[in-house]
């Protein structure tokens, strides 16, 4: 656990330094962030090589082919899509009902959305890093190791602690959603004992973030005097509640299928 934490911290420090250098050289901040992440896997492989070499069978067992099929993959994709829907629902509900007020210096603006993707190499690198490398790295470290080390403590402790460790390596502004995501991924891993479901859901969430973050531009700062917007707030709140319920149903279905699966 200590070795994993030290190696992960070293990788993030190296990435931050490289990202600043690339940004200072004139690269777009998002492109610099993706490009600098490529330094993390080699650092983790190098610093953790003694662990990887000894525990190679364990890591391969986390991704056994027998644990993945179309039903598992589609369920995991649905869970990832619903998780992103919960984020958008709470955001719209929060703005509509006044829970997320804009800074006082920000002038009121009407809702405006536009959709335009960056050049293919930029968005392609973004998907490669954020929808493949990041989920693969984080699921192995946080679920495959942190959570599994704590499995003897039970589901609640192992999932919650791994989720807390998970959010430490994210920006503090995203901690609430990162904790929510860490709990969902942890529940998937606890039930299935395989990283395939959590990895696919994680990749789906990050892939959808790439689309709306890189391709969509939105602006909405309602006049405080016009808040609350009850109709959009109620619709978004209902969508949020429905998404969480369907998420729980899908995860419960995973548990049912796992209990009745042949061993």
Residues 180 and 240 in one domain: yes
For residue 56, give both structure tokens: 């190679």
What pLDDT is recorded for position 183?
96
Residue 37, in any domain of the structure: yes
pLDDT for res 86: 96
User: What are the structure tokens assigned to 40, written together?
Assistant: 């993390």
- What is the pLDDT averaged over residues 153-178? 92
**Would you say 222 and 230 are in contact if contact means Cβ atoms under 8 Å apart?**
no
Question: How many CB atoms sit inside 10 A of residue 200's CB?
Answer: 23
Helix 120-128, helix 29-37: angle, nearest 10: 40
Average pLDDT of the residues in 198-203: 97
pTM of the model: 0.90
User: In terms of domains, do 201 and 95 share one?
Assistant: yes
> Is residue 62 assigned to a domain?
no
Could you report the per-residue pLDDT of 206-235, keeping only the tens digit for each?
999 998 888 887 777 777 777 788 888 899
**Does residue 180 form part of some domain?**
yes
How many domains, the chain? 2
Q: What is the pLDDT of residues 10-56, one digit of tens each?
A: 999 999 999 999 999 998 888 899 999 999 999 999 998 888 888 88
Question: Quick one: tokens of 139?
Answer: 């699921």
Q: Measure the N-to-C terminal CA separation of the chain; round to a whole number of Å.
A: 31
Q: Are residues 108 and 211 in the same domain?
A: yes
Same domain for 187 and 98: yes
Q: Which tokens in the block code for residue 4?
A: 């994993």
Give the β-pairing of 216-221 and 109-115. Answer: antiparallel
pLDDT digits (tens, 9 = 90+) for 227-263: 788 888 899 999 999 999 999 999 988 876 665 554 4
Q: Is the residue at 60 inside a domain?
A: no
Same structural domain, 85 and 185:
yes
Same domain, 131 and 224: yes
Domain-embedded: residue 190: yes
Beta-carbon count within 10 A of 20 CB? 12
Instruction: Look at residue 64 and tell me if it is in a domain.
Output: no
Dist CA 35 CA 130 (whole Å): 11
One domain for residues 132 and 92: yes
- What is the mean pLDDT of the segment spanning 158-165? 95
Mean pLDDT for all residues in the chain: 88
87-115 per-position pLDDT tens digit: 999 998 988 888 877 666 577 777 777 88
Domain that holds residue 1: 1-54
Is 63 within a domain?
Answer: no
The answer to whether residues 86 and 184 belong to one domain is: yes
pLDDT of residue 67: 77
Residue 234, classified by CB atoms within 10 Å of its CB into exposed (0-12), middle (13-18) or buried (19+), is middle
Residue 255 lies in a domain: yes
Same domain, 28 and 125: no
Residues 91 and 134 in one domain: yes
Residues 237 and 116 in one domain: yes
Predicted local confidence at residue 238, as pLDDT: 96
Asked if the model's pLDDT at residue 156 lies above 80, the reply is: yes
- Whether 73 and 196 map to the same domain: the answer is yes
């Amino acid at each position: 656990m200590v070795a994993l934490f030290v190696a992960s911290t070293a990788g993030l420090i190296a990435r931050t330094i490289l990202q600043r250098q690339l940004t200072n050289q004139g690269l777009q901040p998002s492109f610099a962030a993706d490009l600098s992440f490529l330094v993390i896997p080699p650092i983790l492989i190098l610093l953790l090589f003694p662990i990887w070499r000894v525990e190679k069978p364990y890591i391969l067992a986390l991704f056994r082919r027998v644990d993945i099929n179309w039903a598992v993959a589609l369920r995991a994709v649905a869970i990832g899509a619903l998780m992103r829907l919960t984020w958008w629902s709470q955001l719209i509900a929060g703005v509509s009902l006044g829970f997320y007020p804009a800074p006082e210096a920000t002038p009121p603006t009407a809702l405006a959305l536009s959709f335009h993707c960056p050049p293919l190499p930029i968005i392609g690198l973004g998907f490669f890093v954020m929808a493949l490398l990041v989920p693969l790295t984080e699921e192995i470290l946080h679920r495959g190791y942190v959570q599994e080390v704590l499995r003897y403590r039970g589901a609640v402790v192992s999932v919650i602690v791994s989720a807390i460790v998970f959010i430490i390596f994210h920006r503090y502004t995203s901690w609430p959603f990162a904790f929510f995501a860490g709990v969902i991924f942890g529940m998937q891993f606890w039930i299935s004992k395989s990283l395939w479901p959590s990895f696919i859901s994680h990749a789906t969430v990050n892939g959808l973030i790439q689309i709306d973050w890189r391709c969509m531009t939105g602006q909405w700062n309602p006049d405080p005097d016009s808040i609350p917007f009850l109709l959009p707030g109620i619709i978004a709140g209902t969508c949020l509640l429905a998404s969480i319920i369907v998420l729980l149903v899908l995860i419960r279905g995973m548990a049912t299928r796992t209990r009745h699966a042949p061993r």
